[in-house]
Structure 1
Amino acid sequence: MSSGSGDVQNRDGEFWLFGYGLCRWLRPSVLASHQDHRGTPSSPGRVVTLIERSFWETLDDHHSNDPDKVWGTAYRIEAEKVTQVKDYLDIREINGYTVHYTKFYPADGSSTINTLVYIGTPDNDQFMGPQDPQKLAEHIYRSVGPSGPNIDYLLSLESALDSLSPESGDEHIKDLANRVRAVKDGVDSGQALTRELSRSSGTNDQEETEKQGF
């Protein structure tokens, strides 16, 4: 993968944008998101980035069971939309992401495509590194930013990846999504119990009042 300028525009002025489907890279939720997306400065959410496997395996906690292929989608941007799309992406991906260029390998075996991709690399301030998966799930459940709850981002990503191909599911994302759902179910059950106890207490107070003749 190159971080310099790349030849991603064809003769018609179109270019291809890569939505995270790259061989030999991992997609961990290790990038903080605050101010503009799924968290706040005091409680930054978590979003995914691409990390080269050779680097990830030097860290304390890597996903050794992950496959060597990370799925995603390549989007063809028409010439008349190129400036508009790039301007939008430069703003949207400002939180720790930088522009890179890479090849995209279509699932049907057709020729590779040169694409532009935004990646949060390990040398930026938002890179969090490996995190305990359960604590990460609890943090994602609590985080909310201008773009909405962090949990919505995670579950939407899980659904999108599952829909690409029978092979496209991401084990890291799936495990994290399951953990977040379990956290949510636990919180919902606790809230339901609290409401039930509150109603029960209110009923008992009313009965006691009636007994005393008030």
Structure 2
Amino acid sequence: MAAVNGEMASAGADEFWLFGYGSLIWKPPPHFDRRVPGWVTGYVRRFWQASQDHRGTPEAPGRVVTLIERSFWASLADAHDSAPEKVWGTAYRIEASHVAEVKEYLDIREINGYTIHYTPFHPADGSPSIRTLVYIGTPDNDQFTGPQEPQALAEHIYRSEGPSGLNRDYLLGLEKALNELSPESGDAHVTDLSDRLREIEAKSKKGETDIQEPVSPVSHEFRRVSSVDEQEETEKV
């Protein structure tokens, strides 16, 4: 086994593991043969990445999650001023015969500001840590928004839409997927935004808000990549 940041990785050198902390939790990549719930440390999950191509458009970008290094996050003024030590998600082992194809697919899916990193992943069952690939929208990419006022962020998500669908579905889907991983896998940042979104939706149904719905239909068409049958979102995290 190889050492990764001082930890022992259980994956062999010929294995390919991917960590998902956003839509990948409930929308798996193709050709995986193992799905393992667990967490990474040293990061904070935030809705601080713009999405111009899947949960928004270039003219009206949506918002999706990225990981922030905890030490950098601690230097920022964030209205959500606490975050769990563990960032929960899922790790996927890709079948060896499809690694090249899936890597190509992931590169297409992650083009909107995300870059490749590697981090130790800790399976929830206590088995040895795994060296996983993860896509992160770092603060130096032009889609990184930084801290945002929570109510304004929830309203922005409510009115955003892109080729992958409504931005609000991404938020609520992430909340649901996280809550299903473990009794301790919830994320207060995600839950607070979801609660604010549900309040906006309730007021909208009663005609008590002037927050606009997406104003124009967005095509949900994608071009195919290799033999992968279904496109996933760029924000595969």
Give the TM-score taking structure 1 as reference length: 0.82
Instruction: Give 1:65 deviation, angstroms.
Output: 2.6
2:86 pairs with 1:90: no
Instruction: Give 1:167 deviation, angstroms.
Output: 0.3
Listed as ranges, the matches of 1:1-214 within 5 Å are 10=12, 13-20=14-21, 21-34=39-52, 36-61=53-78, 63-190=80-207
**Greater CA drift, 86-95 or 20-29:** 20-29
> Per chain length, whose mean CA-contact separation is higher, i.e. which structure has more relative contact order (CA < 8 Å, sep 6+)?
2
Structure-2 separation of matches of 1:182 and 1:145: 22
Q: Deviations over 1:42-79 (max 9, x none)?
A: 11000000001110111121633322111011101011
Q: Deviations over 1:126-174 (max 9, x none)?
A: 0000000000000000000001000000100001000000000000000
Structure-2 separation of matches of 1:177 and 1:60: 21
Aligned amino acid, residue 12 of structure 2: N
Determine which structure has more spread, i.e. the larger CA radius of gyration.
1
* Runs of 5+ consecutive residues of structure 1 not aligned to the other structure: 192-214
Q: Please tell me whether the aligned partners of residues 8 and 16 of structure 1 are also in contact (alpha carbons under 8 angstroms).
A: no
Q: Please tell me whether the aligned partners of residues 56 and 62 of structure 2 are also in contact (alpha carbons under 8 angstroms).
A: yes
Q: Considering only aligned residues, what root-mean-square deviation do their CA atoms show, in Å?
A: 1.8
Aligned amino acid, residue 200 of structure 2: V
Give the TM-score taking structure 2 as reference length: 0.74
Instruction: Give 1:8 deviation, angstroms.
Output: 9.8
Q: Deviations over 1:101-120 (max 9, x none)?
A: 11101112110000100000
Q: Please tell me whether the aligned partners of residues 11 and 130 of structure 2 are also in contact (alpha carbons under 8 angstroms).
A: no
Aligned amino acid, residue 44 of structure 2: L
Structure-2 separation of matches of 1:189 and 1:29: 27
Report which of the two has the higher share of helix: 1
Aligned amino acid, residue 22 of structure 1: V
Judged with a 3 Å threshold, the aligned counterparts in structure 2 of structure 1 residues 95 and 150 are, in CA distance, closer, same or farther, namely same
Q: Please tell me whether the aligned partners of residues 31 and 49 of structure 1 are also in contact (alpha carbons under 8 angstroms).
A: yes
Q: Please tell me whether the aligned partners of residues 68 and 138 of structure 2 are also in contact (alpha carbons under 8 angstroms).
A: yes
Structure-2 separation of matches of 1:159 and 1:87: 29
* Runs of 5+ consecutive residues of structure 2 not aligned to the other structure: 22-38, 209-237
Number of residue pairs matched? 184
Q: Percent same amino acid among aligned pairs?
A: 65
